[in-house]
Amino acid sequence: MTDLATLPQLVLRNARGSADRPAIREKDRGIWQTWTWRQYHDEVRDFALGLAALGFRRGERLSVIGDNRPRLYWAQVAAQCLGGASVPVYQDSIAKELAYVWSHAEVAVIVAEDQEQVDKILALRDELPALRLVVYDDPRGMLHYRHDWLKSFAEVQEAGRRFGQAHPGAFEREIEQGRAEDVAFVCYTSGTTGTPKGAVITHANALATARAAEAAERFQPDDDYLAYLPMAWIGDAFYTLIMSLWAGFCCNCPESPETVQRDLRELGPTLLLAPPRIWENMLTAVQVKAADAPRLKRWVFELFRRAAERAEILRSDGKPVPFGSRVLGTLGEFFVCGPVRDQLGLGRTRWALTGGAPLGPDTFRFFRSIGVNLKQVYGITETTGLVSLQPSREANPTTAGRPCPGIEVRIGDRGEVLVRGDGIFRGYLKNEEATREVIDRDGWFHTGDAGFMDPRGHLVIIDRAKDVGALADGTPFAPQFIENKLKFSPYVREAVAFGHEKPFVAAMIAIDLGTVGNWAERRGIPYTSYMDLSQKPEVRELIREEVRKGNETLPDSTKVRRILLLTKDLDADDAEMTRTRKVRRRHVVEKYAAVIEAFYGGKDEVELATAITYEDGRQATLRSRVTIVDVEGRPVEALAHA
Amino acid sequence: MSALLEIRDVSKAFGGIQAVTGVSLDVQPGEILSVIGPNGAGKTTLLNMISGFYHADTGRITLEGEDITHVSPSHVAHRGVARTFQNIALFKGMTVLDNLMLGRHVRMKAGVLKSFVYWGLAQKEEVAHRKRVEDIIDFLKIQDLRRRPTGSLAYGLQKRVELGRALALDPKVLLLDEPMGGCNHEEKEDMARFILDVNEEWGATVILIEHDMGVVMDISDRVAVLDMGRKIAEGAPDEVRADPEVIHAYLGEAKNGGRRD
């Protein structure tokens, strides 16, 4: 077995070569518990043989649902050992979405984290004829669940150990049968439009992409990675499973989603991947803490932060940093940057990636200036999560980096980014037509993102190709670009910009309950709920000022003229966003048609009747009159043209 | 099957007010028994007599055959009876972890001197107790609150921590005085889940005072009804619900009267 063709073969290699190195950790009962690669191998083997004993066959599919837990990762690898594929799903999905994915993928086995997830499966059991076995990790509350198709993780492993004694060498034989073209994952893309599609990713795709990543960035066996992102997201599958197995570094599962921030600090991971949301939250936390600090501390913080930021801007432009700034930088490192990095848990971070959506330049610069090697990465599910990455010396807030070695990138018609390479997925599960739409005859994958290559050879992503439009006067209009400007304000959580074929740009804004709430408390403004807070005149004025600041960096024609504060945050449960928090534009336009009409009809108020879906699927309607704000006086001429 | 806790004809008066009059009740091991009744019916007084906080004027209370009628609260706790209070009684300035460790206190054997030196037994003991407390933290899903002062927590979470402190005693019998009072719908559902899990998985017998009829009827094995200090009914939830005297005394009255919190 000189040629490594599948992920399970990497497990065997690691169990031999790095047997006693840490492979995965989980914080349990307040303590980080470690499994070495040998133990990792044994856990996977026992579970795989248990699945085999219970009748799991090559080509079948296993799904996992829950938070990041070692056992859920082992289950995925175990299925792959037997020639099966893993179908991870978002644990916060509503029942309808889960039913669709599980029945579409015809999963035979589901491994669930706990009772909560098992209950979801129980409710959907009748719609899933292919489902034969449900396995749960945490036995808590499961005492009275008696079904012969429901087993605990430990029971399956026990069955596996018995099966292993009766069939020595069975595990190795199963792995040997694995071929590079076998399916490793079926990842359902959240899809900003329509029903989710299952992207089929083979072991060959996975390993080719791992090679590309390794050629572009340094991974070390002693690296620590924090596995806290949804398992259904390709980003997590790529780093926690594929790259960890490939490079042999250790993945660490936090204690619970609520403790991630503290676990991050305890662990001090050397590698970190986080979507913009997380970086924005971290920056917001720093800003809030700084604002609450005594005057002297605040002054010191501001002094050194500004100095560091100025130096960072010079550095990224390739200009020399003057001596005085360097001295200030050294002092700042000691007094401010180092301690802040340590507080955030980024003290040991060699490199950190942001991806999934664009990150505001000021946020980006903040982290770089305090000494975090933050870089942008671009990748999507269909490319096994990787296309391009910024080299450490060329990090900047505007590009998506250089295409990784072995991955070809070309700009197609209408500025669409096309990608080719061995990492491109095989196609959508049971959907030939959709596959043909995105992979052309020459093997180029059409990403649907609009972008261009800059003179340095970096890829720049502008927006989703189909979202890029034009104002009524023909000015190009990229909504995401404008939304990101607005979202840089710590008070703005989400924004949706309108303007295609309209005389000017208008935006709906969802405030950030944490920061705006804190702001209101400090000013003694009482409020009861998100809805109440969002409609306070003071808050309206605050956001208006923030939007005006954002407008300063926009050309006149695309300045945001009118805004409205939503009475609730945009939510994936209401189908307004995807599970990875991307705006589902078409749906939002339909749902908020009345708002758009009011924006451009010159009205100052609109009645919002928002249907909201609770996590258990119940629906309710919130009604309220909401004021529309003119950001810089009334756009009179624009309205006259409307 | 012999009862775990036997209450025989107990009465308690405060001055001229007869709070509890001749109540008898058998609590079977492993059951969830709810005590319901209108305000001032004597429910909390009954609980206080079991936990040794009050002593019955007449009658007898036995735990596993031992008379505990006139035993002090700390001794009752030693014998495995833990309780939570209607108005949360946590140390607000202390962290969640410290409050729970405090709940282990009656199970600790090292004396002041040994603990001070923190060597040998004392250290081993502390580790073992911490392990148990971590089990409880995991069970109640409050990992993110370990280091938070309890006073800074939301009301529903404080109720949860208080349950945790009672659990830290490794109780045979858990006395819960309105664990859901003042909680919102979601917090009530969580609490009901925890009570059921404690009962099923840790084998604790639960005596519950609660005003939320939905919860009581849902999770109780048996229900006892008190009115004006007397027991007027006892039985399975459905029987009690259909009992005309109960409807008159409790449910009928509750509709017109408000609740006290």
Q: Min CA distance, B230 vs chain A (Å)?
A: 36
The reply to whether A247 falls in a domain is no
So what's the pLDDT on residue B258? 41
Does the beta-carbon distance from A256 to B146 stay under 8 Å?
Answer: no
Host H or E run for residue A1: none
- State the maximum Cα–Cα separation within chain A, in Å, rounded to a whole number: 83
Whether the predicted pLDDT of A573 surpasses 70: yes
Q: Which residues contact A297 (CB under 8 A, 6 or more apart)?
A: none
Domain co-membership, B31 together with B99: no
The answer to whether B143 contacts A140, with C-beta atoms less than 8 Å apart, is: no
Q: Which of B214, B180, B235, B227 is nearest to B46 (CA)?
A: B227
* Same-domain check for residues B58 and B117: no
Counted domains in chain A: 3
For A140, the closest of B134, B144, B197 (CB atoms) is B197
pLDDT in tens, A509-522: 999 988 899 899 88
**Is the interface score ipTM higher than 0.90?**
no
| Cα A1 to Cα A5: distance, rounded to the nearest angstrom | 9
* A436: helix, strand or coil: helix
- Asked whether residue B54 is assigned to any structural domain, the reply reads yes
Pick the most confident of A36-50, A570-584, A611-625, B8-22: A36-50
User: A434 in helix, strand or coil?
Assistant: helix
> What residues of chain B have any CB closer than 8 angstroms to a CB in chain A?
131, 134-135, 137-139, 141, 143-144, 146, 193, 196-197, 200-201
Q: What is the CATH number of the domain that holds A523?
A: 3.30.300.30
Chain B residues whose beta carbon lies within 8 Å of the beta carbon of residue A146: none
**A-chain residues within 8 Å CB-CB of B196?**
141
Q: What is the pLDDT of residue A201?
A: 97
**How far A113 CA sits from the closest chain B CA (Å)?**
14
Residues in chain B, total? 261
For tokens 């005693």, name the residue.
Answer: B169
Q: Is residue B85 part of a domain?
A: no
What share of chain A has pLDDT > 90, as a percent?
62
A262 contact B CB<8A: yes
Query: Average pLDDT for residues A2-30, to the nearest whole number?
Result: 92
Residue type present at position B139? F
Please give the Cα distance from A526 to A535 (Å, whole number). 12
Residues A130 and A92 in one domain: yes
Q: 3-state DSSP call for residue A52?
A: helix
Q: Do B144 and A143 touch (CB under 8 A)?
A: no
A406 pLDDT band, cuts 50/70/90, is very high
A33 at interface of B, judged by CB pairs closer than 8 A: no
CB proximity A259 to B under 8 Å:
yes
Structure tokens at A82: 């037997």
Residues 6+ apart with CB under 8 A from B29: B1, B3, B4, B205
Residue A467 has pLDDT above 60, yes or no: yes
Closest chain A residue to B196 measured between Cα atoms? A141
Name the minimum distance, in Å, from the CA of A532 to any CA of chain B.
Answer: 20
Are residues A608 and A506 both part of a single domain?
yes
Q: Dihedral sign, CA of B196, B200, B202, B203?
A: positive
| The two structure tokens encoding residue A252 | 């660490």
- Average pLDDT of span A561-589: 85
**Residue A337 carries which DSSP code?**
I
- B102 and B164 fall within a common domain: yes
Q: H/E element holding A377? A: strand A374-378
Give domain status of residue A558, yes or no. yes
The answer to whether the beta carbons of residues B180 and B210 sit under 8 Å apart is yes
* Chain A residues touching B138 at Cβ < 8 A: 28-29
Q: What is the pLDDT of residues A196-211, one digit of tens each?
A: 899 999 999 999 999 9
- The residue of A27, A28, A29, A114 whose CB has the most chain B CBs within 10 angstroms, and thus the best one to mutate to test that interface, is A29
Q: Which residues contact A43 (CB under 8 A, 6 or more apart)?
A: A35, A70, A71, A74, A157
- Is the pLDDT reported for residue A483 higher than 80? yes
Domain span including residue A554: 469-641
Spell out which residues of chain B touch residue A258, defining contact as CB-CB under 8 Å: 143-144
Which tokens sit at B217? Answer: 């009827």
**A400 and A526 both lie in a single domain:** no
Decide if B19 is inside a domain.
yes
**Angstroms from A262 CA to nearest CA on chain B:** 8
> Same structural domain for residues A53 and A172?
yes
Q: How far is A257 from chain B (nearest CA, A)?
A: 9
Alpha carbon of B142: minimum distance to chain A alpha carbons (Å): 9
- The answer to whether position A310 is within a domain reads no
- At A428-439, the pLDDT tens digits run 999 999 999 999
**Range of weakest confidence among A199-213, A215-229, A277-291, B222-236:** A277-291
pTM of the model as a whole: 0.83
Q: Tell me the C-alpha distance between A232 and A209, whole Å.
A: 18
Q: What is the pLDDT of residue A271?
A: 96
Pair B54, B114 in one domain: no
Q: Give the neighbor-by-neighbor strand order of the sheet with A505-511.
A: A492-498, A505-511, A560-565, A619-630, A605-613
Q: Annotate A59-97 with DSSP letters as a single string.
A: T-EEEEESSS-HHHHHHHHHHHHTT-EEEE--TT--HHH
Q: What is the pLDDT along chain B (261 residues), one digit of tens a residue?
A: 578 999 999 999 998 889 999 999 999 999 999 999 888 889 999 999 999 999 999 999 999 999 999 999 999 999 999 999 887 888 999 999 999 998 888 777 766 666 666 667 778 888 889 999 999 999 999 999 999 999 999 888 999 999 999 999 999 999 999 999 888 888 899 999 999 999 988 889 999 999 888 889 999 999 999 998 999 999 999 998 888 888 887 656 544 444 444
CB contact under 8 A, A141 and B197: yes
CA distance A31 to chain B (A): 10
Nearest to B134 among A29, A144, A259 (CB): A29
**CA–CA gap between residue B112 and residue A371 (Å, rounded):** 49
Is there a domain that residue B86 lies in? no
User: Do residue A414 and residue A436 come from a single domain?
Assistant: yes
What confidence tier does A552 reach under pLDDT thresholds 50, 70, 90? confident
The confidence band for A383, taking pLDDT boundaries of 50, 70 and 90, is very high
Cβ separation A141–B193 shorter than 8 A? yes
Task: Please report, to the nearest 10 degrees, the dihedral formed by the alpha carbons of residues B235, B241, B246, B247 taken in order.
Answer: -170
Q: Which of B131, B146, B169 is the last residue of a domain?
A: B169
How many domains, chain B? Answer: 2
Q: Find where tokens 């009744």 sit.
A: B37
Residue B143 to residue A144, Cβ atoms within 8 A: no
Same domain, B99 and B162: yes
Q: Contacts of residue A228 in chain B, CB cutoff 8 Å? A: none
Q: Please tell me whether residues B75 and B95 are part of one structural domain.
A: no
- How many Cβ pairs closer than 8 A exist between chain A and B? 32
Residues of A in contact with B141 (CB under 8 A): 256
**H or E element that contains A104:** helix A95-104
B220: Cβ contacts below 8 Å, ≥ 6 apart: B32, B33, B34, B208, B237
**A125-146: average pLDDT:** 92
**Cβ contacts of B193 on chain A, cutoff 8 Å:** 141
Whether A445 and A483 share a structural domain: no
Q: Based on the domain organization, do A123 and A235 belong to the same domain? A: yes
List of long-range contacts for A169-174, beta carbons under 8 Å, 24+ apart: A170/A49, A170/A52, A171/A45, A171/A48, A171/A49, A171/A81, A172/A12, A174/A48, A174/A52, A174/A81, A174/A82, A174/A83
Put simply, the answer to whether B144 touches A258 (Cβ < 8 Å) is yes
Q: Let me know whether B8 and B38 are in one domain.
A: yes
* Joined tokens for residue A101: 């994915």
Contacts of A143 in chain B (CB under 8 A): 200-201
Give the distance from residue B261's alpha carbon to the nearest chain A alpha carbon, in angstroms. Answer: 22
Do B144 and B22 share a structural domain? Answer: no
Place of tokens 């191998």: A41
Q: What is the per-residue pLDDT for B111?
A: 67
CA distance A68 to A72: 7
In the structure encoding, which two tokens stand for residue A396, read together?
């900047």
**Count of other CB atoms within 10 angstroms of residue B147:** 10
Regarding whether B103 and B45 lie in a shared domain, the answer is no
Task: Note whether B153 and B181 are same-domain residues.
Answer: no
Counting beta carbons within 10 angstroms of the beta carbon of residue A407, is it exposed (0 to 12), middle (13 to 18) or buried (19 or more)? buried
d(CA A477, CA A420) in angstroms, rounded, equals: 28
Do residues A50 and A37 touch, judged by C-beta distance below 8 A? no
Query: Does the structure show a pLDDT above 60 at A639?
Result: no
Does B134 contact A141 at a Cβ distance shorter than 8 Å?
no
Closest residue in A to B198 (Cα–Cα)? A141
* Boundary of a domain, candidates B136, B169, B202: B169
Same domain, A517 and A490: yes
Question: A618 to chain B, minimum CA–CA distance in Å?
Answer: 14
Measured between CA atoms, the residue of chain B closest to residue A255 is: B143
By DSSP bridging, strand A133-136 and strand A109-112 are parallel
Nearest-by-Cβ selection for A143 from B137, B138, B201: B201
- According to the model, what pLDDT value does residue B113 have? 67
3-state secondary structure string across A589-637: HHHCHHHHHHHHCCCCEEEEEEEEECCCCCEEEEEEEEEEEEECECCHH
* Same domain, residue pair A188 and A124: yes
Contact B201 A30 (CB under 8 A): no
Distance from the B37 Cα atom to the nearest Cα atom in chain A, whole angstroms: 30
Among residues A411, A426, A457, which one ends one of the domains?
Answer: A457
- Please report the residues numbered 183 through 242 in chain A whose beta carbons come closer than 8 angstroms to any beta carbon of chain B: none
Most confident of A49-63, A323-337, A362-376, B124-138: A49-63
B140 and B73 in a common domain: no
Nearest Cα neighbor of A469 from A586, A297, A312, A365 is: A586
Instruction: Express each pLDDT in A152-194 by its tens digit.
Output: 999 999 999 999 999 999 999 999 999 999 999 999 986 666 6
- The residue in chain A having the minimum alpha-carbon distance to the alpha carbon of residue B136 is A29
Residue A543 belongs to some domain of the structure = yes
For A31, nearest residue in chain B (alpha carbons): B134
Note whether A255 contacts B143, CB cutoff 8 Å.
yes
Determine whether the interchain pair B131/A140 forms a contact, defined as Cβ–Cβ distance below 8 Å: no
Q: Of A457, A486, A506, which residue is a domain's last?
A: A457
CB proximity A30 to B under 8 Å: yes
Q: What is the pLDDT of residue A466?
A: 82
Is the CB of A144 inside 8 Å of chain B's CB atoms? yes
A378 has which bridge partners? A388
Rounded alpha-carbon distances, angstroms, from residue A524 to A436, A527, B152: 59, 9, 19
Q: Which domain holds residue B110?
A: 91-169
- Alpha helix positions (H), A373-478: 432-438
State which residue of chain A sits closest to B97, comparing Cα positions.
A30
Q: Do A259 and B144 touch (CB under 8 A)?
A: yes
Check whether A2 has a pLDDT greater than 50: no
Domain presence at residue A512: yes
Q: What is the pLDDT of residues A602-631, one digit of tens each?
A: 888 888 877 777 766 677 787 888 889 888
If asked whether residues B111 and B232 sit together in one domain, one would say no
pLDDT-based confidence at A309, cuts 50/70/90? confident
Domain assignment of residue B38, yes or no: yes
List the structure tokens of A561: 């003229």
Is the predicted pLDDT of residue A535 greater than 50, yes or no?
A: yes
Assign residue B223 the CATH number of its domain. 3.40.50.300
Cα A94-A99-A103 angle, rounded to 5 deg? 155
The DSSP output letter for A439 is B
Whole-angstrom CA distances from B227 to B42, B55, B242 are 8, 20, 16
3-state secondary structure A198-267: EEEEEHHHHHHHHHHHHHHCCCCCCCEEECCCCCCCHHHHHHHHHHHHHHCCEEEECCCHHHHHHHHHHH
Considering only CB atoms, which chain A residues are within 8 Å of B131? Answer: 29
Q: How confident is the model at residue A35 (pLDDT cuts 50, 70, 90)?
A: very high
Please, what is the average pLDDT of chain A? 90
Give the H/E segment covering residue A336: none
Residue A217 tokens read as 């960035």
| A residues 450-509 lying closer than 8 A (beta carbon) to B | none
Measure CB to CB from residue A30 to each of B146, B196, B200 and give the nearest one: B146
Q: What DSSP string describes A550-596?
A: HHTTS-GGGSEEEEEE-SS---GGGTSB-TT--B-HHHHHHHTHHHH
Mean pLDDT of A77-91: 96
What is the length of chain A? 642
- Asked whether residue A625 falls in the same domain as residue A521, the answer is yes
Q: Encode chain B in three state secondary structure.
A: CCCCEEEEEEEEEECCEEEEEEEEEEECCCCEEEEECCCCCCHHHHHHHHCCCCCCCEEEEEECCEECCCCCHHHHHHCCEEEECCCCCCCCCCEHHHHHHHHCHHHCCCCHHHHHHCCCHHHHHHHHHHHHHHHHHHHCCCHHHCCCEHHHCCHHHHHHHHHHHHHCCCCCEEEEECCCCCCCHHHHHHHHHHHHHHHHHCCCEEEEECCCHHHHHHHCCEEEEEECCEEEEEECHHHHHHCHHHHHHHHHHHHHCCCCC
For B195, which residue in chain A has the nearest alpha carbon? A141
Indicate if A452 and A558 belong to the same structural domain: no
The verdict on residue A357 lying in a domain is no
Tell me if B135 and A143 make a contact (CB, 8 A cut-off): no
Among B154, B169, B184, the domain-final residue is B169
Same domain, A482 and A448: no
Query: Which residues on chain A are in Cβ contact (under 8 Å) with B139?
Result: 140
How many angstroms separate the CA atoms of A89 and A402, rounded?
30
Q: Is A143 on the interface with B (CB under 8 A)?
A: yes
- The one-letter amino acid at A50: G
